[in-house]
Structure 1
Amino acid sequence: MPNRLAGKTALVTGATSNIGRAIAEEIAAEGAHVVVSGRNPERGAEVVDGIRARGGRADFVRADLDGSAAASRALAEEAGRVLGGRIDVLVNNAGIYPADSTAETDEKTFDEVYAVNVKAPFFLTAAVAPAMAEAGGGAIVNLGSWIARLGIPVGALYSSTKGAVETLTRAWAAEFGPRGVRVNAISPGVVLPSVPGEVHPAETMMKGTPAGRMGTPDAIAKAAVYLAADESSFVHGIVLDVDGGRTTAAVIAA
């Protein structure tokens, strides 16, 4: 089913690498005009050039989503301008992940992680969702994480921010769904770009799972397209686990 997003416009945050880049590329491949957003213009240009080389439509908009309402509003306004006055799809992907223990986490880090991972998507959604509703509808896809629901001994701060994002997903579905804006989330498992011949230490976290391996960014990107496209028009407020079964099946490691 090609061109599932033909004629649509999309804003993807944190789109210059890894999962965000894959999502931007996949959404563009499905026919949408995509704003690639991030902090690094060089990496942004690389993503945009790649999309255009494959016949897609993309532009880069630099944004430092520091959690301030002003930064989120500025991105919404500039992306809307570049996309011709409307945003049909918003993907809240940008985030930071310090793997510190609780005792090693200082207050500055705490505030920064909540600013980027929770405040920024909160105020960006606040800026975009009402305009979507006024234009007749749209779709918002948030990025959660498997460790929001399955504890691991590092990264408690990050885990808690993703728990907040998943809660916001359900709240926003209730708030904006009746106005034509669908809000859902994806909960990725252990996902990293594959490197031939290289075994990443994170592989150990997927041993004994149904998939038995790490995921790759394109798996998350395909899920994002599904949640953004009309085929999921009856899907509201879910957290779609794309984690190789990490959180749904007992892990029995050999």
Structure 2
Amino acid sequence: MSNELAGKRALVTGGGTGIGYAIALELARQGATVAITSRRGEVLAEAARRIRDEIGADVVTVVADTGDDTSVRALAETARRELGGGVDILVNNAAEQPAQHGGSFTEATDEWFQRQINVKVIGYLRTIRAIAPQMIENGWGRIINISGTGSRQTVSVIGSVRNAGVTALTKNVADELGRHGINVTVVHPGPTRTDRWNDLAEQNAVPDNVIGRIVEPEEVAWVVAFLASPRSVAITGDGIVAGGGIPGFIYY
């Protein structure tokens, strides 16, 4: 079933690798015109080549740093120009890994903490501030923030705080933008088969989730593609967990 993305224009931050790449690929597969960003131009070029080879779609690439306000403002102008009239769908995915070096709160250094909040939480806000006026002008939009299951369970101090921060950001912005025809949601991936997961051999056991296997990046992308579509109009301000089910927890 089509999610009706033909003619929509999408911007995916952190779209060169992992979940961000899978999202960009799926949005393009469903007919959206897609721009991807990263701080690394060579990563973007390779991602664009792979998407073109797989589905024949050309992808706009923009080198940008969500941790820098000037860079984000330039990104918004470039996206408006290159996509032809503004952004309809914004997927905030840019983040640095690991969230924290070491699992204990004693290893949550001030410098790294501030850096992670700047890139992921404030970075998402920067990008929304820059792109939302284009959506308001067009009277329609979808903003999907990628967070993580660390917002609901302990992983590390920095990991949990930055993901919880994205959750709070999402609800606040959703309440403000709803009257403009803009829906804002947050997706919480759990353990997902990315290059980082594959590099961490000690984590390559069966994850503790209900489905009993690792989630594939495209399976997260399918959720995002629905939320990016007109069909998701009834959902805004809320979070969708795409981690294969966390056993034992009941949320209201």
Q: Normalization by structure 2: what TM-score?
A: 0.90
What is the rounded CA distance, in whole Å, between the counterparts of 2:226 and 2:87 in structure 1?
Answer: 17
What is the CA deviation profile of residues 57-78 of structure 1, one whole-angstrom value per residue up to 9, with x for unaligned ones?
3111001222x32222121111
Q: Are the equivalent residues in 2 in contact too, given 1:190–1:205 (CA < 8 A)?
A: no
Runs of 4+ deviating beyond 6 Å? none
Query: Secondary structure, in 3 states, of the residue corresponding to 2:105?
Result: coil
Query: Secondary structure, in 3 states, of the residue corresponding to 2:108?
Result: coil
- Of residues 150, 154, 165, the one that matches 2:153 is 150
Letter in 1 for 2:221: A
1:192 aligned residue: 193
Counterpart mapping for 1:4-153 below 5 A:
4-53=4-53, 54-66=55-67, 68-96=68-96, 97-100=99-102, 101-152=104-155
Q: More displaced, 101-110 or 129-138? A: 101-110
Offset of 1:106 from its aligned partner?
2.1
Offset of 1:102 from its aligned partner?
1.9
Query: Secondary structure, in 3 states, of the residue corresponding to 1:241?
Result: strand
Q: Which segments of 5 or more consecutive residues in structure 2 lack a partner in the other structure?
A: none
Letter in 2 for 1:136: G
What is the rounded CA distance, in whole Å, between the counterparts of 2:177 and 2:222 in structure 1?
Answer: 24
Q: Are the equivalent residues in 1 in contact too, given 2:10–2:88 (CA < 8 A)?
A: yes
Offset of 1:193 from its aligned partner?
3.3
Q: Are the equivalent residues in 1 in contact too, given 2:101–2:108 (CA < 8 A)?
A: no
Letter in 2 for 1:119: I
1:178 aligned residue: 179
What is the CA deviation profile of residues 69-128 of structure 1, one whole-angstrom value per residue up to 9, with x for unaligned ones?
222212111111111121000000011223433212322111111110111110110111
Offset of 1:187 from its aligned partner?
0.5
Query: Secondary structure, in 3 states, of the residue corresponding to 1:206?
Result: coil
1:221 aligned residue: 221
Q: Normalization by structure 1: what TM-score?
A: 0.90
What is the rounded CA distance, in whole Å, between the counterparts of 1:75 and 1:198 in structure 2?
Answer: 31
Letter in 2 for 1:250: G
Query: Secondary structure, in 3 states, of the residue corresponding to 2:193?
Result: coil
What is the rounded CA distance, in whole Å, between the counterparts of 2:122 and 2:223 in structure 1?
Answer: 24
What is the rounded CA distance, in whole Å, between the counterparts of 1:220 and 1:47 in structure 2?
Answer: 18
Query: Secondary structure, in 3 states, of the residue corresponding to 1:103?
Result: helix
Offset of 1:46 from its aligned partner?
1.3
Query: Secondary structure, in 3 states, of the residue corresponding to 2:212?
Result: coil
2:248 aligned residue: 250
Offset of 1:3 from its aligned partner?
6.4
Q: Are the equivalent residues in 2 in contact too, given 1:190–1:202 (CA < 8 A)?
A: no
Change (3 A) 1:205 1:70: farther
